[in-house]
A = this chain, B = another copy of it.
């Protein structure tokens, strides 16, 4: 007998079918054994009656997370027995035979209880099976696929960016080193150089993949390995073209998640996302004025926003613009990456932006310098040796259009969509200074 998925049972009333899955919960009521059976499509309540012979004997031995293949008959429940909380609450599955495919140890804790983060992380192969975790990563994959489908629709070409690199785009100390035969290589902090090179090839490109930060601090917002969603496009006028497409993209992602993940979102205390078009924007200096005026802190000399500033500005955007999103533009050029474009109309400031979403920066981008000579000069000003970037510089030697793009962390975005406190909850297998799956000190 072929397998029937649980979400197809309602089309098989009064038929005998086979379903496969995990024992989600076993409960005994008097002589009846109730098994909530889980497969990839849902959960259904099954019953084993004492008069079902072998099935009953086996049924009594089943424990949570055992894997079984069962045959039985699908029945409609009487009206007063319908469980409206469950998608399969109007049916019941009467088991006639049980085949145990795999047993399981007794669980070390009640699977659905709220665990502390370390216990959760120590037991991911088990804890990821909870409804809550399944929902988080369902939302995550939806965001990822919405990102891609939006850009493909707009004519962007996807490419694979290398992660094993020579010199890093961002420089700095937070780069992992790899023993590369007789040399030292690095793990990429971003696909920055490659996406710019690819603008020379296809004009409009995107890439998704793992990136690395060897940051020692372990906070609720940092990860040592995360998934970066990156786009880059040529023939822009300035950073505002990038901000416009970013706004359209974030709207598309929001609508897609809200439409396809209704069930998953319902598990979290989320409110509908407010995203006006266009998304409001402020320069860094104007944002700092607002902070001074509304919150009393004078940060007008600072080259960037602190986490507290980001929270205040998001609060401001929600109140003043009814928006969960806010662009902050024009960071001091000397504090921006060497490939940033200096705004001719605001000398000393870059055509760069951060996109804040519900209290945190989730996207960073802007216009890049496309002129070879100016790019080399910018490297020299940052005390970088242009010779080390000769490969990258070729793109600019042979004709690059004005261009720009942005990068966005998938895990952080997922966390903010669902209101999760810690980005590690939105990371399948988070890497920390003292943990790669298991604790490193063990």
Contact = CB atoms under 8 A, between A and B. Distances in A.
A144 B160 CA distance: 10
A166 interface: yes
Interface residues of A, number: 92
A22 interface: yes
B162 A391 contact: no
Given A162-B431, A204-B40, A402-B101, A197 B124 contact: yes
Of A128, A176, A224, A436, most buried by chain B (CB within 10 Å of CB) is A436
A429 B166 CA distance: 12
Given A164-B225, A202-B134, A397 B187 contact: no
Contact of A438 (B166, B397, B429): B166
A431 B134 contact: no
Given A125-B392, A183-B440, A39 B398 contact: no
A158 B128 CA distance: 14
A235 interface: yes
Interface in A214-249: 214, 216, 224-225, 227, 235
Contacts of A159: 137, 141, 428
A367 to B, nearest CB: 13
Contacts of A103: 399
A212 interface: yes
B166 A437 contact: yes
A301 interface: no
Contacts of A163: 163, 210, 225
Nearest to A103: B399
A212 B187 CA distance: 12
Contacts of A438: 166, 390-391
Nearest to A395: B125
A235 B224 CA distance: 34
A401 B227 CA distance: 29
Given A40-B155, A164-B431, A178 B176 contact: yes
Interface string A47-70: 000000000000000000111010
A266 interface: no
A394 to B, nearest CB: 4
Nearest to A216: B181
A252 B156 CA distance: 22
Contact of A145 (B152, B183, B201): B152
A440 B294 CA distance: 54
A179 B433 CA distance: 11
A126 B397 CA distance: 9
A79 interface: no
A209 B123 CA distance: 24
Contacts of A209: 209-210
B436 A102 contact: no
Interface of A: 3, 20, 22-23, 39-41, 65-67, 69, 101-105, 107, 123-126, 128-129, 133-134, 137-138, 140-141, 144-145, 152, 155, 157-166, 176-181, 183, 185, 187, 194, 197-198, 200-204, 209-210, 212, 214, 216, 224-225, 227, 235, 370-371, 390-392, 394-395, 397-402, 410, 428-429, 431, 433-434, 436-438, 440
Q: Which 8 residue pairs of A and B lie closest in terms of their CB atoms, listed nearest first?
A: A104-B399, A40-B203, A65-B399, A125-B395, A125-B394, A391-B437, A166-B436, A20-B235
8 contacts: A39-B235, A104-B399, A126-B200, A126-B395, A141-B159, A159-B428, A161-B429, A162-B428
